[in-house]
């Protein structure tokens, strides 16, 4: 593995009706849903290491610690950034931020684990 601190990934989204708390049933307001913010953070973390893993390996989510700080309306663009901060064996810890046109809307940590894809899928229930 050629994984080390400093690897960086990003993901962007234009907020649509399907991304809102109402649509995701995580709230009653038509703004960017927290579960969608978390998914965007995960997407950025995956992008940070996607081309660094050998064939047959991937990462899977283990822990998410994200503070959703501000609402974002439908039609607004948001961008998530993930930076690999720590590698502990197979465990990868990323610092993540999400911004819209007004500034920071979410920040936290995402932990993912490197796995052998086929072996992992064999364990799925």
Distance (Å, whole) CA 120 – CA 7: 24
In CATH, the number for domain 8-122 is: 3.10.129.10
Check residue 125 and give its pLDDT: 86
Q: Looking at residue 1, what is its pLDDT?
A: 52
Rounded Cα distance between 118 and 123, Å, is 9
| Strands 77-88 vs 91-100: parallel, antiparallel or unpaired | antiparallel
- 25-35 pLDDT, tens digit per residue, is 999 999 999 99
Over residues 33-72, the pLDDT tens digits come to 999 999 999 999 999 999 999 999 999 999 999 999 999 9
Give me the residue spans of the domains in the chain: 8-122
Percent of the chain with pLDDT over 70: 99
24's enclosing H/E stretch is: helix 21-24
Round to whole Å and give the CA distance between 48 and 10: 7
- How far is 122 from 56, CA to CA, in rounded Å? 13
């Amino acid at each position: 593995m050629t994984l080390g601190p400093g690897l960086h990934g990003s993901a962007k989204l234009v907020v649509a009706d399907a991304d809102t708390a109402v649509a995701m049933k995580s709230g009653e307001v038509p703004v960017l849903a927290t579960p969608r913010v978390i998914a965007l953070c995960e997407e950025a973390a995956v992008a940070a290491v996607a081309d660094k893993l050998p064939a047959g390996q991937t990462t899977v989510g283990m822990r998410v610690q994200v503070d959703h700080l501000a609402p974002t309306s439908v039609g607004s663009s948001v961008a998530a950034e993930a930076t690999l901060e720590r590698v502990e064996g197979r465990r990868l810890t990323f610092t993540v931020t999400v911004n819209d046109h007004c500034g920071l809307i979410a920040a936290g940590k995402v932990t993912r684990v490197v796995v052998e894809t086929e072996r992992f899928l064999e364990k799925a229930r």
